Amino acid sequence: MGYDLVAVIRNAMGILFLGVGIMCAMNVEGALPKGVRVEKDLVYGTVSDRELVLDVYWHPDAEEAMPLLIWVHGGAWRKGSKSNVGNVLPMLSKGYAVASVGYRLSGEAIFPAQIQDCKAAVRWLRAHAGDYKLNGDKFAAWGSSAGGHLVALLGTANDVADWEVGDHLDVSSRVQAVCDWFGPTDFLRMNDVKGKMDHDPANSPESELVGAPIQEHPDLAGNANPISYVSGDESPFLIMHGGQDFTVLKNQSELLNVALQEQGVSSTLVLIDDQGHGFRGERADIMKLVEGFFDERLKGTESVWLKENPNPWVTQCAPGVVGMRHVLFQSERLGKYYGYSVYLPPSYEQYLEQRFPVVYWLHGRNGSPNVIKRLLAKFDAAMKTGDCPEMIIVAPNGLQMSM
């Protein structure tokens, strides 16, 4: 049988012009479910006449007190806002209340001001739980990047007296579950593999957070590391990280997960191979994982979806093309690791002695893992119907200079 590879590729390219999804919209007001009320800029503490504020999204008509998800925003501790809460708002329709915490950024105050603020916010929320129909025994912390770092500290540093400052000191700042999205956990190992940025200089986000170059002051870095406080007394963790994150290396999540598990803490690490720093594009399965985790830990209910998908980060979150794998190769020229998608044809495992042609697919512009997924799905379908010869396909995952 003859194959018109040009026609096959042209047909596959028909999907390349689809737009790539971006992270959840931040239009808070338009995203609220019916019956949810927002109380904004509630003052949970004051430092040198500076009011610290948070927002609460709650259900006035709830028949019983609801579990609370406390969102802590990212932004390299330098920027960001409590209004960046789009990731967590869908949980309002799942039986949860939400609080989004504003905290002092590194340009205003160095560490531990940020975790002191977060702990003060938890205490204030628990002290005022009755005002917003919150169940004070069912609080969870959830954050991304710098926010992931801070919620990891909320989960591990439960006995640091110096971090409990402000009001309601007789109220616990402990949370009952933590969802850490790609947060730094061991500052001194953020350069284990060369990534998109150098974390050691004096002007790095980590050094600015602690007020000095981290490698020259390992004591300050260690004081800010969630991993330093793991004791075995922690609440359950769900840790999620993109396999192609070269801003905060995935080793940060791996290190924390190992430390927690070695102390007997319930911790689950989910590595999502085709994601970088920030979960973009189709994220329904990612959110189902998060929802299932919170349902189990805060409501005591089993997630039917998780039961039917025991390894969802493999079968669902990773691109759903049979034979598609993600690998990291180190570029000797650039001194960095880059991600590639490798497609193995249907009969690859059946005939180990067979040799297949290898096609390198090189994208234009910046490319995208989602585009590559759709491209390989087209090739996979064509090979299975006999409209295309079987081949191995290798494609860079939309990273600049990845060749």
Give the per-residue pLDDT at 354: 78
Domain assignment of residue 27, yes or no: no
Q: Which of 261, 197, 188 is nearest to 223 (CA)?
A: 188
Is residue 343 within 8 A of residue 380, CB to CB? The reply is: yes
Q: Which of 106, 67, 100, 69 is nearest to 82 (CA)?
A: 100
265, 285, 315 - which closes a domain = 315
- Looking up residue 261, the CATH number of its domain turns out to be 3.40.50.1820
Dist. CA 369–CA 147, nearest whole Å: 25
The tokens for 4 are: 């018109």
Q: Which of 18, 75, 87 is nearest to 369 (CA)?
A: 18
281, 315, 349 - which closes a domain = 315
Give the per-residue pLDDT at 24: 35
For the chain, what's the residue count? 403
Please state the rounded mean pLDDT for residues 201-215.
98
Are 292 and 339 found together in one domain? no
Tokens 């590194």 correspond to 106
Check: pTM over 0.85? Answer yes or no.
no
Higher pLDDT, 53 or 315: 53
77-80: long-range contacts, CB 8 A cutoff, minimum separation 24: 77/105, 77/106, 77/114, 77/146, 77/149, 77/205, 77/208, 77/209, 78/105, 78/106, 78/107, 78/205, 78/208, 79/105, 80/105, 80/146, 80/147
The tokens for 237 are: 């963790």
Are 236 and 350 found together in one domain? no
Are 142 and 262 found together in one domain? yes
Higher pLDDT, 49 or 400: 49
- Is 212's pLDDT higher than 70? yes
How high is the mean pLDDT of the chain? 83
Q: How many domains does the chain have?
A: 2
Q: What's the pLDDT tens digit per position in 322-367?
A: 667 666 555 565 554 456 778 888 887 676 667 889 998 877 655 5
Give the per-residue pLDDT at 1: 45
Radius of gyration of the chain (CA): 23
Are 382 and 344 found together in one domain? yes
Percent of the chain at pLDDT above 90? 58
Q: For the sheet with 267-272, list strands across it.
A: 37-47, 50-58, 97-101, 66-72, 134-144, 177-181, 237-242, 267-272
CA angle, 111 then 116 then 119, to 5°: 140
The tokens for 335 are: 């001194």
Which SS3 state, helix, strand or coil, does residue 128 take?
Answer: coil
Are 221 and 101 found together in one domain? yes
Tokens 């150098």 correspond to 198
Is residue 280 within 8 A of residue 20, CB to CB? The reply is: yes
Higher pLDDT, 366 or 374: 374
Are 308 and 332 found together in one domain? no
Dist. CA 18–CA 23, nearest whole Å: 16
CA 103 to chain centre: 20
Q: What's the pLDDT tens digit per position in 384-394?
A: 898 999 998 88
Residue range of the domain that includes 304 = 32-315
Q: What's the pLDDT tens digit per position in 265-311?
A: 999 988 887 788 988 755 777 888 899 999 999 999 877 666 666 55
Give the per-residue pLDDT at 241: 92
Give the per-residue pLDDT at 304: 66
- Is 34's pLDDT higher than 80? yes
Q: What's the pLDDT tens digit per position in 137-173?
A: 999 999 999 999 999 999 999 999 999 999 999 999 9
- Is 233's pLDDT higher than 60? yes
Higher pLDDT, 292 or 4: 292
Dist. CA 152–CA 149, nearest whole Å: 5
